[in-house]
Amino acid sequence: MDQILSTDLHGRVGYINLPKGKVLTPTLLPVVSPKENIFTPTELYNEYNFNLIITSAYLFYKRYGIPDGSLTIHDILKFPGNVMMDSGAYQILLYGDVDIAPIKSLEIQANLKTDIGVILDVPISSEDSHSIAKKKTLRTLERVNDALDFINSHRDIIWTLPIQGGKNLDLLQFYIERITSQNLHRYFGLFALGSVAPLMSQYDYLNLFSMIYHTRNLLPHNVPLHLFGAGHPMIFPFIVALGCDMFDSAAYILFAKEGRYITSNATYKLESLSEFPCNCPVCLKWTPKELYNADKNTIIENLAKHNLYVSLLELKKIRLAINNGRLWELLELKAKSHPHLYKAFNYIVKNSEKLFWEELTPVTKFVGLKVFDDLSTFRPELTRASRKIHEDYTPTKNKLTIYVISGYVSPIELLSKLEKKDKLSIKFMEADVALFIPFFGLVPLELAESYPFSQFVFSGVISKEKYNEIIQSSVDFVIQKGYKLITIESLEKTELCAMIKHDLLKAFEKANYTISN
Amino acid sequence: MDQILSTDLHGRVGYINLPKGKVLTPTLLPVVSPKENIFTPTELYNEYNFNLIITSAYLFYKRYGIPDGSLTIHDILKFPGNVMMDSGAYQILLYGDVDIAPIKSLEIQANLKTDIGVILDVPISSEDSHSIAKKKTLRTLERVNDALDFINSHRDIIWTLPIQGGKNLDLLQFYIERITSQNLHRYFGLFALGSVAPLMSQYDYLNLFSMIYHTRNLLPHNVPLHLFGAGHPMIFPFIVALGCDMFDSAAYILFAKEGRYITSNATYKLESLSEFPCNCPVCLKWTPKELYNADKNTIIENLAKHNLYVSLLELKKIRLAINNGRLWELLELKAKSHPHLYKAFNYIVKNSEKLFWEELTPVTKFVGLKVFDDLSTFRPELTRASRKIHEDYTPTKNKLTIYVISGYVSPIELLSKLEKKDKLSIKFMEADVALFIPFFGLVPLELAESYPFSQFVFSGVISKEKYNEIIQSSVDFVIQKGYKLITIESLEKTELCAMIKHDLLKAFEKANYTISN
């Protein structure tokens, strides 16, 4: 990354400097054909403001042979922006009718003066056994080594390191460790994760997210990460939050050819739409019925245009969410697009290092935290606060007074009422004071008016299981900090607070604590 | 409703016939001023295709006095579509500088030849005590009675019955019972719920949803229900699902005047936007920065246009969701817009009659059920199936074989594999057979291949509490149906199914059941 403007989770808004102008990331690269397109790369540049697209070295070779260097890929595509060339390895795997030698593929890309090139890896298909996947991973490693000389003599191109291993996380890890231990990644200006298309088509977002998580976690962060074949905008915010800066997609065209209309959360057959749920120029001009009755090319062209508008829109929403510190909230919302996505988001949040999510999430934000349910308690703002309190908080007394609050009224508001009462301020002096917030646990008074406790909105919806876990972790905290005497009071006269106080008392009694009144 | 095209939850897509052409519902009525507008009613008709708008009899009177009948409201507004006139009662409550007699308000509306008129009710403000609210409710009832003669002599206008009581549900109920017991509602072609603006401004969606629920539940369904002042598109799908067919909003203008930009899920200050997360003509033409630097009128006009585009879009999404049987899914998604909304949706789902949601939800759908978490188990498709199985299922044997499934693979797919095995088909003959689906409980084999069990996608995310509840309800079902002997087997060789089998066994043993193998 050449410039980072803002970050949230592992997402980052920034710029990558490329020969034909800098590119705002996270970004989507529309896939174009080197020969024929539904709408032209020039249109992509002028109408949609794309200044980075991707095309295939393999498809070029298949149609035109080895280029002689007289024309650049920009001339051929009539595209004034940046061009990335994919080696086409995956197409070779799928259709396998033409094979090109790894170095030949690099020559094609270099002769065409691509801005970003990719070495020809050996992709893994969904049917590959672990041992075949391992062989392919090793062969890709060989190809990386074989390509180094060529790369070194073509430094005007930004070269991409394909990350192999597929959904076999042990192989992915093995591959990345081999690369980093030999310091091979320094030859490359971009990392790219491949072999994900089979996962997409099977809605296997769980393995997809795990792959991206491990890749981003193991590789240096200063280099942007690309995902080959990201497909549907439904998953864009997730792959960005996991650390992808770029991804390409041909879905806008492929879906259009099948008469399919993409939305932010789903896909519809054109004929199943009574109205277009979109404000893009295509959808304001046409009704579904009119378009359905148009000729085939008109249908494909307009569906593809809409599909691209809606894909681009998702990028804008993501960048805005990162800028405004609300990427987690976008994920919680979008996870409800499909149960498989919800499953995968739950899984990756609960089975990843908390530090991964905290690392690039700002320490303070200008917007209040939205707490919906159990899932929200995994927000990095809360896990970070929890760890810091557990690690850094030092008691000054051996007594602790716990004030229970509902979470519906902010600590600031509650405390402002409290301070007037002298009786309480005496208690404040005799004992350390902490608030108990139902979705979080104990917060020392000193922190109760700072972010994220200063500003949150809580729905009150939390599972009994999570609630009990929070009660128990509060008891554990008190034991760990060596408090001898506990007082529990309620800051609000509500049934809810009375119940929480009761449950806390019970948990402390079970831990043989003396409760004073 | 004059024509109903499709229904889901309590939402319905249909037409209301009005003098200037039929109106597709659910619909939004933009609020326009009788005097001056940011953009004209003519634009609303031509650019946005609105054929029903609302304006205020009170504001008309305040500016022009009593109309002489020479011009209609359509002439004055230059609007060829249908016009609804609000009595302006709420404005009188808020600003109270001009008062008009109830009958005078009806005369204004009739003289202006409005298509839909409203009698002047006595709205309830947020500060009103219960006893004041009761007095106002009674006074509105008097005004309804007083208006009947006028209404009877002006049958060319569709008259609206305002529903009063505010968030005092006892008063709301009292009011509606008084109306229905005297059969007064037959004078009116539209019901309209008022006094909700204070709830909106306090994010009190819980009381708002309760009010709509009780109103729709107590009043005849053939008459459309209007909500005065619906405001933000974030809540549109919820109020439609609860039974509102129409609502008006001035939010598009009011927010614009405060420099606020509406999205489907939130509101932003213009200056906080790095990019416009929208594809409408305004947002494709401008960048936030350019618009922010424009003159004040340009800002307001463009923000209002965008706000209206995005509000209209929400209607399209809602109608599409109803047509496609996916309104519940839209609610689950949108509930994650704001914790207060999530709280209110959880509350109303768990504290309302299941039959209310089931009544208009189709018995079979062409789309599979998406099951995300605990909340999804309240879907009417599932509560209806559960009730029917409990009420209607008659055992044919005294033994029951329970096959545990994970919910990740459809019953149809699992059963198709099963049928080949002779051993099992014998068991099928000795005992009744039911499947145990983790998010639902027991489903007799006979129903396992019919909707909604034929087609669902399950995330696997369910709370321990809900899971235990489903296990227990399965035991209760077996006891209730009088089975003597239980066999439990797992249809899938997974750890999950083994765990479920274990938990079921434990629950049956606790209920003193003999388990055979």
Average confidence (pLDDT) over A477-493: 94
pLDDT at A100: 80
* Nearest-by-CA chain A residue for B273: A320
| Residue B81 CB burial class (10 angstroms; 0-12, 13-18, ≥19) | buried
Q: Do A305 and A39 form a contact (C-beta atoms < 8 A)?
A: yes
Beta partners for A443? A435
* Predicted local distance difference test score (pLDDT) of residue A231: 86
Torsion of CA A480, A482, A486, A491, to 10 degrees: -60
Q: Give the integer Cα–Cα distance in Å for A243 and A221.
A: 9
Q: What is the pLDDT, as a whole number, of residue B320? A: 98
Residue of B nearest to A310 (CA): B279
Question: Looking at this protein, which amino acid is placed at residue A434?
Answer: A
Grade residue A348 by pLDDT with cuts at 50, 70 and 90.
very high
> A256 near A291, Cβ under 8 Å?
no
* Contact assignment for B333 to A336 by CB distance below 8 Å: yes
Nearest Cα residue in chain A from B263: A317
Q: Are B44 and B50 in contact (CB under 8 A)?
A: yes
Q: Average pLDDT of B113-122?
A: 95
Mean pLDDT for A408-434 is 76
- Report d(CA A88, CA A97) in Å as an integer: 12
User: Is B109 within 8 Å of B117 (Cβ atoms)?
Assistant: yes
Substitution target from A265, A282, A372, A468 for chain B, most B beta carbons within 10 A: A372
Q: What percent of chain B has pLDDT over 90?
A: 84
Cβ atoms within 10 Å, residue B292: 14
Query: pLDDT digit string (tens) for A22-33?
Result: 999 999 999 999
As a whole number of Å, the end-to-end CA separation of chain A is 57
Q: Cβ separation of B459 and A340 shorter than 8 Å?
A: yes
pTM for this prediction = 0.96
Q: Say what the ipTM of the complex is.
A: 0.95
Backbone Cα Rg of chain A: 27
Query: Out of A2, A8, A75, A86, which one is annotated catalytic?
Result: A86
B96 — pLDDT class (breaks 50, 70, 90): low
Catalytic residue among B8, B86, B121, B245: B86
Task: Answer for the pair B32, B54: CB distance below 8 angstroms, yes or no.
Answer: yes
- Cβ neighbours of A324 in B, within 8 Å: 268, 272
Q: Where are the alpha helices (DSSP H) in A361-482?
A: 380-392, 411-418, 422-430, 464-480
Find the mean pLDDT for residues A152-156.
96
- Rounded CA gap, B395 and B446, in Å? 11
What burial letters (b/e) apply to A248-280, b meaning 16+ CB within 10 Å? Answer: bbbbbbebbeebbbbbbbbbbebebbbbbbbbb
Q: Looking at the partner chain, which of B279, B319, B346 has a beta carbon nearest the beta carbon of A274?
A: B319
CB contact (8 A) between residue B280 and residue A275: no
Residue A308: its pLDDT value, please?
97
Handedness of CA A199, A203, A207, A213 (dihedral sign): positive
**Pairwise CA distance, residues B263 & B233, whole Å:** 8
CA distance A260 to chain B (A): 15
Query: What is the average pLDDT across B329-350?
Result: 98
Contact A339 B464 (CB under 8 A): no
Put simply, the chain A residues between 108 and 127 with a CB less than 8 A from any chain B CB are: none
Local confidence band at A428 (pLDDT 50, 70, 90 cut-offs)? low
Give the pLDDT confidence score for residue A420 in this predicted structure.
61
Count CB neighbours of A498 within 10 A. 13
Report how many Cβ contacts below 8 Å link chain A to chain B. Answer: 112
Alpha-carbon span A404 to A504, nearest angstrom:
9
Q: Is the pLDDT of residue B329 over 80?
A: yes
Question: What pLDDT does A91 receive?
Answer: 75
What pLDDT sits at residue B428?
A: 64
Q: B12 and B4 in contact (C-beta within 8 Å)?
A: yes
φ, ψ of residue B219 to 5 degrees: the values are -105, 155
pLDDT for res A517: 67
The pLDDT of A122-149, averaged and rounded, is 93
When CB atoms are compared, the residue of A274, A338, A464 closest to B320 is A274
- For residues A139-150, give the mean pLDDT: 95
Contacts of A280 in chain B (CB under 8 A): 279, 284
* pLDDT (tens digit per residue) in A202-237: 899 999 999 999 999 999 999 999 999 998 999 999
Alpha-carbon distance B363 to nearest alpha carbon in chain A (angstroms) = 19
Q: Using a CB-CB distance cutoff of 8 angstroms, which residues of chain B are in contact with residue A342?
A: 372-373, 459, 461
Q: Look at A420 and B85; give whichever has higher pLDDT.
A: B85
What does the pLDDT look like over A276-328, one tens digit per residue? 999 999 999 999 999 999 999 999 999 999 999 999 999 999 999 999 999 99
Per residue in B282-292, pLDDT (tens digit) is 999 999 999 99
| A365 has a chain B CB within 8 A of its CB | no
Instruction: Reply yes or no on whether the pLDDT at B396 is more than 70.
Output: yes
Active site (annotated) includes residue A99: no
Contact with chain B for residue A346, Cβ under 8 A: yes
Chain B CB within 8 Å of residue A338 CB? yes
Average pLDDT for residues B299-319, to the nearest whole number?
98
Residue A291: is it exposed, middle or buried by C-beta count within 10 angstroms (0-12/13-18/19+)? buried
Give me the residue label for tokens 């839909």: B116
Contact A105, A87 (CB under 8 A): yes
From the list A323, A373, A460, which residue is nearest B274 (CB)? A323
How high does pLDDT run on average in chain A? 93
What spatial distance separates the first Cα and last Cα of chain B, rounded to whole Å? 57
Coil, strand or helix: which one is B324?
Answer: coil
- Rounded to the nearest angstrom, the minimum Cα separation between B88 and chain A is 32
Are B458 and A332 an interchain contact pair (Cβ–Cβ within 8 Å)?
no
Using an 8 Å CB-CB cutoff, list chain A residues near B289: none
pLDDT for the residue numbered A63: 87
Q: Which residues of B touch A286 (CB under 8 A)?
A: none
Q: Which of residues 442-481 of A touch B (CB under 8 A)?
A: 457-461, 463-465
* pLDDT score of A369: 96
Q: Which of B27, B320, B338 to mutate to test the interface with A (most CBs of A within 10 A)?
A: B320
A87 touches A58 (CB < 8 A): yes
- Per-residue pLDDT band at B295 (split at 50, 70, 90): very high
Helix (H) or strand (E) holding B392: helix B380-392
Interchain proximity A277–B371, CB inside 8 Å:
no
8 A C-beta contact, residue A491 and residue A423: no
Closest chain A CA to residue B278: A313
d(CA B315, CA B26): 7
DSSP codes, B438-469: TTTEEEEGGGTTSTTTTSEEE-----HHHHHH
Distances, alpha carbon B90 to alpha carbons B53, B151, B164, B197, in Å: 18, 21, 12, 9
How far CA B232 is from CA of A516, B261, B316, in Å, comes to 49, 11, 15
The secondary structure of residue A83, as a DSSP letter, is E
Model confidence band, residue A360 (pLDDT cutoffs 50, 70, 90): very high
Residue A271 CA, chain-centre distance (Å), reads 32
pLDDT at site B351 = 97
Q: Look at the alpha carbons of A248, A251, A252, A257 in this order and tell me if their dihedral is positive or negative.
A: positive
**B317 with A277: Cβ contact below 8 A:** yes
Residue B426 has pLDDT above 60, yes or no: no
Out of B277, B319, B370, whose CB is closest to A275?
Answer: B319
| Cβ separation B313–A278 shorter than 8 A | yes
Residues of A in contact with B277 (CB under 8 A): 313, 316-317, 320
**Interatomic CA distance for residues A499 and A299, integer angstroms:** 60
Strands B23-25 and B11-16, bridge-based pairing: antiparallel
Which residues from chain A sit within 8 angstroms of residue B372, using beta carbons? 336, 339, 342
What backbone phi and psi angles, to 5 degrees, belong to A461? -90, 110
pLDDT digits (tens, 9 = 90+) for B46-67: 999 999 999 999 889 888 889 9
Under an 8 A CB cutoff, do A338 and B457 touch?
Answer: yes
Across chain B, how many H-helices and E-strands are there? 22, 20
- Cα gap B147→A254, rounded to integer Å: 62
DSSP, collapsed to helix, strand or coil, labels residue A451 as: coil
